[in-house]
Amino acid sequence: MSTSGTTPAPAQAYPLSNRVALEGLGSFFIVFAGLATALFSPAGSAATIGFAYGLALVACLISFGHVTNGFFNPAFSLAMAVAGRIKWLAAVLYIVAQTIGGLLATAVLVALMKVMPAGATPETPKLFAALANGFDSHSPSQVPMVGVLIVEIVLMAVLVAVVLGASSARNKSTMGPIGIGLAFAVAVTITMPLSNGSLNPARATSVIFLADSWALGQVWLFWLAPLFGAALAAAIYRSFAPARSLVTVDGPAEDIVATGTQDIDSDADTDDDDDNAALPKPVPAVPEPVTSDPAPKKNDAQDFFDSKDK
């Protein structure tokens, strides 16, 4: 237990391998929830699918967010690195794990469809082509490439602003995961009729190898636009954020925010080894005691002339 005027020792960081594995698991669950809802839900409307993604994200944030700080989406992980919350190496490994998790989610869905009665589902290429993200003639609303590009950039920038604000250590609200999940659900609902919903490069990649060839040719947009929007929003955030708020600690800080994530993460880039320790709390200066009637300094010459025996 800490005493007055001292700082508690920070907890040890979770191993990077554990965090990478949890990012892959979270991505698997989010992608599986969204695609399975689109495939099997009788009321697979845009809102239903969007909220499936959002609720799955809420569950992952509450369960694993305090460990990984990567938010189970390549665009969010890039934003956290640009904002100084995690190291670039961790961000790259997170993105790889998230992409693999999305591909595994699709593999499980394919295996599930293989054991269903014949004729219960369409042929695999036709089915996953309907789930793939696309623009122009492959957009559900025939939206051109420029339109999809703008929507993906703008919505991802807004989502990153929500994530960075909700996960800030200055934010004492306990509703962070719900706020992030709801924002993501609304954003996916908006993009569903435009591009089959994405805002997640791992989800966009998860179906391209099972869909028609056009999906592979258009997936670049669903990586470029979210990553650009995320990096732009994070760079703007970092330019306005107090510099000291980006200093890191060696592991999950005592100041864990209510979202289940931490504003100051062990993975963030630092230029000085001294930044790898928790910032000490400011200690107020103690003023020296001042007496109301200070004693005059002794003056030997004055005492000689004032002496009565002179």
Q: Indicate the CATH number of 16-276 among 1.10.10.10, 3.40.50.300, 1.10.287.1770, 1.20.1080.10.
A: 1.20.1080.10
Structure tokens belonging to residue 27 = 């991505």
Question: What contacts 98, CB < 8 A, 6 or more positions away?
Answer: 23, 24, 26, 27, 70, 72, 73, 74, 77, 202
Report d(CA 79, CA 163) in Å as an integer.
9
pLDDT at 150 over 50: yes
b/e burial code for range 199-226 (CB count within 10 A of at least 16 → b): bbbbbbbbbbebbeeebeebbebbbebb
Report the alpha-carbon angle 279-255-171, nearest 5: 115
* Structure confidence by residue, pLDDT tens digits, 12-29: 578 999 999 999 999 999
- The answer to which of 136-145, 169-178, 279-288 has the lowest mean pLDDT is 279-288
Task: Outline where the chain has alpha helix (H).
Answer: 16-40, 46-68, 74-82, 88-114, 124-131, 145-166, 176-195, 201-206, 213-218, 221-240, 300-306
Question: What contacts 232, CB < 8 A, 6 or more positions away?
Answer: 153, 157
Residue 65: count other Cβ atoms within 10 Å of its Cβ: 25
Residue 197: predicted pLDDT = 85
Mean pLDDT of the chain: 79
- C-beta contacts of 270-277 below 8 A and 24+ residues apart: 275/247, 275/248, 276/248, 276/249, 276/250, 277/10, 277/249, 277/250
Q: pLDDT grade, residue 69 (50/70/90)?
A: confident
Residue 30 CA neighbour count, 13 Å, CB half: 37
Task: Kindly list the domain boundaries of the chain, sorted by start residue.
Answer: 16-276
Report d(CA 14, CA 117) in Å as an integer.
44
Dihedral (C-alpha) 237, 239, 242, 246: value to the nearest 10 degrees?
70
Residue 158: predicted pLDDT = 97
Residue for token pair 């005027």: 5
pLDDT at 117 over 60: yes
* Structure confidence by residue, pLDDT tens digits, 249-293: 334 433 333 344 444 444 444 433 333 333 333 444 445 555 555
Render 47-81 in DSSP notation, one character per residue: HHHHHHHHHHHHHHHHHHHHHH-STTSHHHHHHHH
More confident residue, 256 or 205: 205
Q: What is the largest CA-CA distance in the chain?
A: 128
